[in-house]
Homo-oligomer: A and B are copies of this chain.
Amino acid sequence: MTITPPALSVFETLESEVRSYCRGWPAVFDHARGSRLHDEDGHAYLDFFAGAGSLNYGHNNPVLKRALLDYLERDGLVHGLDMATTAKRAFLESFQNIVLRPRDLPYKVMFPGPTGTNAVEAALKLARKVKGRESVVSFTNAFHGMSLGSLAVTGNAFKRAGAGIPLVHGTPMPFDHYFDGRVPDFLWFERLLEDRGSGLNHPAAVIVETVQGEGGINVARAEWLRALQELCERRDMLLIVDDIQMGCGRTGGFFSFEEAGITPDIVTLSKSISGYGLPMSLCLFKPELDVWEPGEHNGTFRGHNPAFVTAAAALDTYWADGQMEKQTLTRGEQVEEALLAIAAESGDPQARFRGRGLVWGLEFGDPARASAVCSRAFGLGLLLETSGPRGEVVKLLPPLTISPEELDEGLRILARSVRETA
């Protein structure tokens, strides 16, 4: 595939140097359907990235599209601040009936603004307000967002350096497997909490991803999550699960923490919650934590009604029964099987893979290899990204609605890319 350099010119001349994905995927994309994107030169790309987890139901999902077009065509209210609207009501009712009630989750729902970092900022503000303490514990290789509150609990040193101020009030603790089982879980964290001389400021909350996506597809075990919840209760800290990337069915169940049987105090959702790639986020919390004053947190785009419409349609369509979860786990097995072979044949003795549901990571010893694999895959028409602190992990994040054939096609391209970069 050749990309005519002039085609990129306005991006190069006018857009900031901060742009990044467009560098690894040097095409000008135009339209997309299901698991495939198309660039303006007519090339098609199979999508194993799904908008960083924002497109769990694929691109321009026809059911959601119909609901969206209907809403827009009839001049449904688009921008609604935090006004009551029929679209918001429909969403809230679906969310309550399809998501919360069947799982016995008691949460209040907050619309904190349409992006993940808005939800994380709201969660942290609320936790600090409730507990009257500033400190928050996060985990090694966590990713929670780019605004200053979220960035302070994000691990990546390169992103942190962009803050321009010292990031404080956060303390990292080792995520599950950080020492490959050589150290008992929470040994360090618990000891710091119980020792009045440890120097740890007593945290208001702990924020955790059940599977760290940006951090390299690090999967926390269910028992680790349960022990964390127990520790939070015992030591008077709120447990925040940031389910922005791993929620909305990515790992199988609607929430990624369901498998562990825990009930976090606060949950953040975004990315695939609208189902159509439209900006939307939620902050959920136990009712007794709803100590907000009216308007104490606000934001212009909290009421993005087209997103409520597609979000309700997605819940109604995919989550009214257990089919989606079942299908995701089946697809996951398909991926796992393929990765087993790919890793074994990779020629890299350090190659490892891990995942849950439809999020998987293939780790190489050398980050350059991971990067080369993605680059080769792009040339072969497959969108893949790296993650991990050194970019050493190839991340597989296909739409949940991908067909077994498409999945197989992508896995074969991946296998070939691994082979050809050995």
Contact = CB atoms under 8 A, between A and B. Distances in A.
Interface string A70-105: 001111111111111110110011011000000000
A80 B92 CA distance: 27
A111 B279 CA distance: 14
With a 10 A CB-CB cut-off, give which of A75, A93, A200 has the most chain B CB atoms.
A75
Given A40-B86, A135-B166, A191-B178, A14 B92 contact: yes
A139 to B, nearest CB: 8
Contacts of A146: 113, 118, 121-122, 297-299
A278 B296 contact: no
A28 B92 CA distance: 13
A142 interface: yes
A294 to B, nearest CB: 4
A125 B16 CA distance: 14
A159 interface: yes
B195 A141 contact: yes
Contacts of A157: 196-198, 202
Interface stretch (A50-58, A327-335, A404-412): A50-58
Interface in A196-229: 196-202, 204, 215-216
Interface string A105-138: 0001111011111100110111111000011001
Interface stretch (A19-27, A249-257, A345-353): A19-27
A65 B72 contact: yes
Interface stretch (A30-38, A311-319, A356-364, A414-422): A30-38
Given A28-B85, A82-B20, A169-B166, A108 B15 contact: yes
A63 interface: no
Contact of A31 (B14, B65, B75): B75
Contact of A21 (B81, B199, B390): B81
Contact of A77 (B32, B88, B283): B32
A114 B290 CA distance: 26
A140 interface: yes
A59 B77 contact: yes
A166 B201 contact: yes
B160 A199 contact: yes
Contacts of A82: 18-22
Interface residues of A, number: 153
A379 interface: no
Contact of A279 (B53, B276, B304): B304
Contact of A165 (B72, B86, B166): B166
A232 B11 CA distance: 30
A319 to B, nearest CB: 17
A89 B59 CA distance: 20
Interface stretch (A148-156, A336-344, A369-377): A148-156
Contacts of A129: 162, 164
A271 interface: yes
A270 B300 contact: yes
Contacts of A86: 28-30, 40
B167 A277 contact: no
A26 B165 CA distance: 42
B188 A125 contact: no
Contacts of A72: 60, 65, 68-69, 72
Contacts of A122: 146
A277 B357 CA distance: 35
A200 B14 CA distance: 35
B52 A300 contact: yes
5 contacts: A19-B294, A21-B82, A32-B78, A147-B149, A157-B197
Given A115-B299, A117-B118, A156-B199, 16 more contacts: A14-B109, A16-B283, A16-B290, A33-B75, A51-B79, A54-B79, A54-B301, A59-B78, A79-B277, A113-B115, A114-B115, A121-B146, A148-B148, A148-B149, A154-B199, A165-B166
